[in-house]
Amino acid sequence: MMKERDPSYNHPAFPQPNDTTISVWRYMDFEKFEWIVNNSRLFMPPTARLGDPFEGTTPRGELQWWQRKAENTDSDEQRQIMKYNRGLISRMAKQFRENYYVSCWHINEFENYAMWQCYTKSINAVAIRTSYASLRACLPSYVEMGLVRYIDYAIERLPSLNLFEYIMHKDIYYSYENEVRAVAASFIAYEEWQKHFSENHFELKNSPGFLFYAPTIDLTQLIVGVVLHPEIPSDVQAKAVDLCIKNGLSQPTLSRRAQEPVY
């Protein structure tokens, strides 16, 4: 059995919101929602499958900082040490990048219409609403969770040498996402975590080589509400309602955007 998480501890690379009752949202195509509900599992793909080639990579500003440090040293020996350290950390970050499994959420008290455009492929889509605290409570103790921080990758560097900073920072270009991120690291060396991770590590059907982590979750604890895409077809809407009723969830509601305009 997984050990209980110490509620007083937060990893420094995973800053917490001031109010943990705030809502977080996961916008997704209906097929993904159906999979989550039918399996009572949270789908967490590896970093390389998130669709952004810069995920978990070294900011250019970080490399420039190391270069400046090397240029300003007093001896060739110190310069070589600086260059070696920069290369070592970059190689470790690249290696670790392959072993992070991530679940991305949008933190916002209200539905955000732009998120439908960003994170769903069609109008056959839903959004899960929960609270930050509820999502945290559903996750195993070894899964870290916090607010993504946004920096200018061209000129800024990460705040510390902790390698989790690489996966918990994104370029300021993406700041509109207001992202909360849960991260499972397969390399954590605790035996109980390795056993749990192995038991919940799968290969996606019909996609050889696509590995993902999918911890079991309590659906009724996680899902506070389900919101349907403003243009969702009636047949998919009916499927969503039936799925929720069968699994003890509250009935889905239509997006606020679907309301008739008032003149």
Decide which of 71 and 16 is more confident. 16
Which of these, 127, 14, 116, 104, lies nearest to 50 by C-alpha position? 104
- How much of the chain exceeds pLDDT 90, in percent? 71
Torsion of CA 9, 148, 218, 47, to 10 degrees: -110
| Cβ atoms 101, 46 nearer than 8 A | yes
| Cβ atoms 212, 46 nearer than 8 A | yes
Predicted local distance difference test score (pLDDT) of residue 97: 87
| Cβ atoms 158, 62 nearer than 8 A | yes
pLDDT at 232 over 80: yes
For residues 156-185, average pLDDT: 95
* Structural domain span for residue 99: 23-258
Tell me the per-residue pLDDT of 136-151, one tens digit each, with 9 for 90 and over. 999 999 999 999 999 9
CA distance 251 to 242: 8
CA distance 160 to 12: 9
Position 177 in a domain: yes
DSSP H or E stretch at residue 116: helix 113-119
Tell me the per-residue pLDDT of 198-230, one tens digit each, with 9 for 90 and over. 999 999 988 888 999 999 999 999 999 999 999
pLDDT at 2 over 70: no
Position 9 in a domain: no
Q: Are strands 169-171 and 149-151 parallel, antiparallel or unpaired?
A: parallel
Position 11 in a domain: no
Predicted local distance difference test score (pLDDT) of residue 263: 76
Give the pLDDT band (50/70/90) at residue 56.
confident
DSSP H or E stretch at residue 186: none
261: number of Cβ within 10 Å: 4
Which of these, 63, 45, 48, lies nearest to 182 by C-alpha position? 45
Tell me the per-residue pLDDT of 42-53, one tens digit each, with 9 for 90 and over. 999 999 888 788
What is the Cβ-side half-sphere exposure of residue 140, based on CA atoms within 13 angstroms?
24
Question: For the chain, what is the mean pLDDT?
Answer: 92
Position 209 in a domain: yes
Residue 80 Cα to chain centre, angstroms: 37
The count of structural domains within the chain is: 1
pTM: 0.91
Position 158 in a domain: yes
Predicted local distance difference test score (pLDDT) of residue 4: 67
Predicted local distance difference test score (pLDDT) of residue 230: 95
Position 121 in a domain: yes
Position 263 in a domain: no
Position 5 in a domain: no
